[in-house]
Amino acid sequence: MFRNRKYILDLSDLQYKQIQLPFRMKLLRAFMWFVLSVLMTLVYVYLFRSVFGSPKEKLLAQQVENMKLQYALVGRQLDNSMSMLNSFRLSDDIRYRPVLDMDTIPESFRKAGYGGVNRYSDLTGFINSDMLVSYRSRIDMISNMAKVQKESFNAIDERAGEWKMEMDHQPMISPVDVKYRLGDGFRFREVHPVLGTPRMHYGQDFEVPYGTEVYATGNGTVIESGWNSMGFGNYVVIDHGYGLRTTYGHLSRINVSKGLSIRRGDLLGYSGNTGTSSGPHLHYQIDQFGEHKNPINFFNNDMTVDEYNEMIQVLASKTIFR
Whether residue 246 contacts residue 225, with contact meaning beta carbons closer than 8 Å, is answered with no
DSSP 279-311: SSBEEEEEEETTEEE-GGGSS-TT--HHHHHHH
pLDDT of residue 94: 85
Residue 209 to residue 228: CA distance in whole angstroms: 21
Q: Which residues have C-beta within 8 Å of that of residue 75, sequence separation ≥ 6?
A: 135, 138
Cβ neighbours of residue 179 under 8 Å, at least 6 residues apart?
Answer: 305, 308
Kindly list the distances between the CA atom of residue 310 and the CA atoms of 15, 16, 53, in Å, as whole numbers in the listed order.
Answer: 139, 135, 81
Per-residue pLDDT of the chain (322 residues; tens, 9 = 90+): 445 666 666 666 766 666 666 777 777 878 888 888 888 888 877 776 666 666 776 777 777 777 777 777 877 888 888 888 888 888 888 888 888 888 888 877 777 655 555 677 777 767 677 777 777 888 888 888 888 888 888 988 888 888 889 889 999 999 999 888 888 887 776 555 655 567 788 899 999 999 999 999 999 999 999 999 888 999 999 999 999 999 999 999 999 999 999 999 999 999 999 988 888 999 999 999 999 999 998 987 778 888 888 888 888 776 655 4
Looking at residue 51, what is its pLDDT?
A: 66
Sign of the dihedral defined by the CA atoms of residues 92, 94, 95, 100, in that order: positive
Closest to 268 (Cα-Cα) out of 291, 237, 245, 240: 237
CB atoms within 10 A of CB 54: 11
For the CA atoms of 299, 304, 305, 306, the dihedral, rounded to the nearest 10 degrees, stands at -120
**How far is Cα of residue 27 from the mean position of the Cα atoms in its chain?**
86
Q: What is the DSSP letter of 122?
A: G
Q: What is the predicted pLDDT for the residue at 224?
A: 96
**Rounded CA separation 120/123 (Å):** 6
Q: How many CB atoms are located within 10 Å of the residue 90 CB?
A: 10
User: Which stretches of the chain are DSSP H helices?
Assistant: 23-51, 55-90, 97-99, 107-110, 129-169, 305-317
pLDDT at 38: 82
The whole-number pLDDT of residue 21 equals: 66
